[in-house]
Structures are given as C-alpha cells and as structure tokens.
Structure 1
Amino acid sequence: MSLSLDGFVCDANGKNDWIFKTGDEESLAWSVEKSSDASLLIMGRKSFELMAPYWPTATGPFAAPMNQIPKAVFTRKGFKGIDAGTAQQTAAEASWTEAQVFDGDLAEEIIALKAGAGKPIVAFGGAEFMQSLIATGLIDEYHLAVHPVVLGLGLPIFTGCKIPFYLKLTEVKAFPGGVVALTYSS
C-alpha cells in the first residue's frame, strides 16, 4: 500500500496521482515484486470496478501480475459482476470476469482463504476496504511504501482501530526518489 508521509492513501478527493510523481524505477520494481508473489489478489468492490476495465489492455510492469493472478472481490453492497464482453476473452479479461465474489463476513472469508495452500494473498484497494481488512486483525504482513509527499487531508487506512496493535519492523528499503518501503509483521 502506498501512503503519503502524513499517512493517507489518497487525497481528500480520492486521487492518488502523487504516487506516480514521487516514485522511481526501483520503488516501482519493489511494488511489482511484492504484487507478483501472490496466489490471489483481493480488493474491495469499488477498487475492483475501477481496475477491471483498465488492466486487461494495460502495459507496463504491473500488467502481468494484475492480469495473471486470480482475483477476489469483497463487497457489502452487492456486485453485479464484470461484463464478459465477447465469447473470445483474452486470458487477461478472463482473470477479471472470473474473479471470486465474497459478500459474507470478511473475517470468516479471509480465514478460509488463508487456510488454503499457496503463495501469499495480496490486498489492493481503497481506504475503506483496507480499514475493514485491518480491523479483522488477520493481516500477517504490511508492505507500506511511504512517499515523500504531505497531503494535509485524505483517507487514512489506520483509523478506527478498536485497540492498539503492535507490529514488528522486518525490512526497511529506501529508494532514490525518496520512497521508503517498510515491511511489518504482526
């Protein structure tokens, strides 16, 4: 997850274009590496609906993991699915139209997914989904890319926690453009 120096994942208008202004090739490679080492990409409905039309035709370093790794979407407000379009979908399109949909208890569903074998589950999404995921207490590792920008206002992910929780810093990596990658385990 990318964060501003003052702890926001996007500005007050929901924009996160500052990520692309403050990142560099090495921090991008780190993010792609962390995303690529997944057996499943999970995200909230809003993020899924924004990403699904974009990624199947995208190019660049994130395109492969975003289109090759299976996905799951979590929703509390229903999900109509993604239009499959033509009968001859590309593999990239199919990875989005065939996403698993979960609409029950988030914690129970995460526990069931974690019980399966495979590589890590990587979460993408907006502040609301991440806040809900953090509240479950089921995140094993946090990979946070702190960008050298102060937004002043925005949407945080570490808000509304009922009790303090303590994490162990397991890795720090600084990049030439000023991004600092922090890895914490629970």
Structure 2
Amino acid sequence: MSRKINASLFISLDGVVEAPDQWHFPYFDDEMGAAVGASLNTTDVMLFGRVTYDSFAGAWPGREAAGGDDAGFAKQLGDMRKIVFSRGRLDLEWRNSEQAHGDVAEVAAALKSEPGGDISLSGSVSVVRQLLAAGLLDELHLLVHPIAVRKGMRLFDEGEPSIPLKLLTSRTFTTGVLHLVYGPDTAPPTGGYEEAVATLPE
C-alpha cells in the first residue's frame, strides 16, 4: 500500500488561505490543536513551498529551544524529514531539511512509491494546487473558519479542468470552525438541468 499525501489548510468562508496569522488565532482551541496534531502523528515527511518553509523555520526551532508548552510539537516537526520546493538555490539550516530535486509531481510520486509513513503539507498553497492538479493528493483537510476575510489569495485559482472531490469526513468545533476532509472523486456525479428538475416534488 502506497503512502498517503495529506494537506491541511486554514481557510476562511470566502476561500482565503493567505496570512492566516491575521485571522485564525481567535478560533484556535484544544479541539483544533488536537486535529492539527493528529494529522502529523502518522507523518514522517513534510513538503513545503519556500514561503511556508521560511515561516516554519523562523519560528519552530526557537520554540523547541525555549522549552515551552509547544516544545514537544516543535521537536516533532524538527525531527521529520522536510522537503522544500523552490526555483532558487536554498541554504536550509533547520535540521532534516533538504531542497527538492525535480518538480512537485515527480518528487511526490517518487515519495509515494517509497516505504514509510504519510507525507503531509501545512499551508504551501502552490504545492497543494500542483498536487491536486496531478491527482496525487489523497486527503485535503480544510479547517473552515466562520469569517469572510475579503482579501488575499484563495485556495483555488482560475484554470482548467475542474477538480472533483468527495467529502470523506466532517466535524464541527465549538468555535464554529468546520473540519472538512476531502479526497479525489474518481466517479463524480453527472447530470444537468433536466435531471435536476426530475427530482423536484410534484
């Protein structure tokens, strides 16, 4: 059985995934922390775009060294293999980090064929988009926050073809955040207006 690739994203009601540090924290609680932590328990490789990696590398090593409440989680991240996608050459100082050699689809497909635990992403929207387009993402975890941010990059950009997904699980947190898990839909529903009309009560 091949490894799974899972991506987790904080997202607003209007689809914004950019700069969650500006709107996410009021909704963070133990429920969300448990959900985020659970997604990493089966992970031994993380994939990053450069911007997200820089954000993580600029914060988590220091938190691990500080020995605070989140030091255990920080150590867990530090101990994982971390693969970073970037067009430019990178100087990666966070331990167990390496730059990807090849494009996203090539590297992800090769990793899935290797033995090991799951492969995860947190943020890294450009990488998530490429995995979705290539049909390589097994689970898309969306933590939908009850706020319309109204500015910033959305998860799904303009393009063709469409990407059908199916809902695997859903959960509502007490904060109103929805934890929705989607997977690829290999047999999406079909039909048009006539079929829809036929389902209406007479």
What TM-score does the superposition give when structure 1 sets the normalisation length?
A: 0.82
Match of 1:100, SS?
A: strand
Deviation at 1:156, TM superposition (A): 1.2
CA contact (8 A) 1:35 1:122 kept: yes
Matches within 5 A, 1:18-167: 18-58=23-63, 59=68, 60=70, 62-75=73-86, 77-83=87-93, 96-167=94-165
4+ residue runs of structure 1 moved beyond 3 angstroms? Answer: none
Moved more, 51-60 or 109-118: 51-60
Task: In structure 2, list runs of 5 or more residues that go unmatched.
Answer: 1-8, 185-202
CA contact (8 A) 1:4 1:146 kept: yes
Q: Distance in 1 between matches of 2:104 and 2:124?
A: 15
Q: CA RMSD in A?
A: 1.8
Q: 2:11 aligns with which of 3, 20, 43?
A: 3
Question: 2:35 corresponds to which letter in structure 1?
Answer: W
Deviation at 1:51, TM superposition (A): 1.4
Question: 2:34 corresponds to which letter in structure 1?
Answer: A
Q: Distance in 1 between matches of 2:60 and 2:32?
A: 20
- How many residues align structurally? 170
Paired position in structure 2 for 1:89:
none
Distance of aligned partners of 1:119 and 1:98 in 2 relative to their CA distance in 1, 3 Å threshold: closer
Matches within 5 A, 1:160-175: 160-175=158-173
Q: Distance in 1 between matches of 2:172 and 2:91?
A: 39
Task: In structure 1, list runs of 5 or more residues that go unmatched.
Answer: 84-95
Pick the structure with greater CA Rg: 2
CA contact (8 A) 2:10 2:143 kept: yes
Q: Distance in 2 between matches of 1:69 and 1:173?
A: 28
